[in-house]
Amino acid sequence: MNGFGISVRDLMHKPGTMRRAEFEIDLPEDLSNSILSVSAGTHFELELRLESVHEGILVTGGGDTYAVGECSRCLDPIEVDVKVDFVELFAYSLTNEDDFVVEDEKIDLEQVIRDEVVPNLPSQPLCNEDCLGLCVECGEKLSGNPEHEHEGPVDPRWKALENFEKE
How far is Cα 95 from Cα 97, in angstroms, rounded to an integer? 7
Residue 88 maps to a domain: yes
Of 13-22, 45-54, 132-141, where does mean pLDDT reach its minimum? 132-141
Residue 93 maps to a domain: yes
The average pLDDT across 48-73 equals 92
Residue 156 maps to a domain: no
How far is Cα 47 from Cα 63, in angstroms, rounded to an integer? 6
Q: Is 114 left (phi over 0), alpha (psi -120 to 50) or beta?
A: alpha
pTM of the model: 0.72
Task: Name residue 79's beta-bridge partners.
Answer: 68
* Backbone φ, ψ for residue 3 (5° rounding): -70, -5
Residue 68 maps to a domain: yes
Q: What is the pLDDT of residue 89?
A: 92
Q: What is the pLDDT of residue 18?
A: 92
The average pLDDT across 57-67 equals 92
Give me the chain's average pLDDT, please.
85
The domain total for the chain is 1
Residue 158 maps to a domain: no
Burial (CB count within 10 angstroms: exposed 0-12, middle 13-18, buried 19+), residue 107: buried
Residue 166 maps to a domain: no
**Percent residues over pLDDT 70 in the chain:** 95
The parent domain of residue 127 ranges over 5-131
Task: Name residue 52's beta-bridge partners.
Answer: 57
* Beta strand pairing call for 106-108 and 5-7: antiparallel
1 pLDDT more than 60: no
Residue 140 maps to a domain: no
Over residues 33-44, the pLDDT tens digits come to: 888 999 888 888
Residue 125 maps to a domain: yes
